[in-house]
Amino acid sequence: VLDAAHYVPAYWYSKSKAASLFGTGPCFGWSSQEVLGWVHYGGGQELFDELMGSLGLNVVSFFNSPMPAQPMGWFKEEIKDASQMSGLKYRTVGLAADVLLEMGMSVVQLPGGEIQPAMKSGLIDAAEFNNPTSDRDFGMQDVSK
């Protein structure tokens, strides 16, 4: 029995692409306040509950602190042109994985604790984890030099 948990719906992307819209929506999308407004007053909670039911998950969700659109990430080399993305090994999850695959990147889905070692060893060339403040606390600036 699990009494409570904190989770990111985007990790269920492999089961339903719609899950990403509740956890890692498109860049330049809504602010976190707009997401909460939609969830609480625009029918978003009902759509999410329907999604959870379709996945067979017995979960009661209470949205809080949604993340705004995330920046592109941390790269070992400066990116000045979209053509430089082709062939890069990049860590991400959710909707971004499909978008970046279309751009020619090799997408690797790693858990948070494996991102820094993977960048240090050269397993990946770039990564995103969360948002600039969390990424700084996580030390992403130290491994992307």
Q: Please give the angle made by the CA atoms of 67, 84 and 91, to the nearest 5 degrees.
A: 40
Tell me the per-residue pLDDT of 21-38, one tens digit each, with 9 for 90 and over.
Answer: 887 665 556 777 888 888
Tell me the per-residue pLDDT of 29-86, one tens digit each, with 9 for 90 and over.
Answer: 677 788 888 889 999 999 999 998 999 888 888 887 776 666 788 998 899 998 999 9
Residue given tokens 């997408």 in the structure block: 107
Give the three-class secondary structure for 17: helix
The 10 Å Cβ neighbour count of residue 127 is 25
Residue 24 DSSP class: S
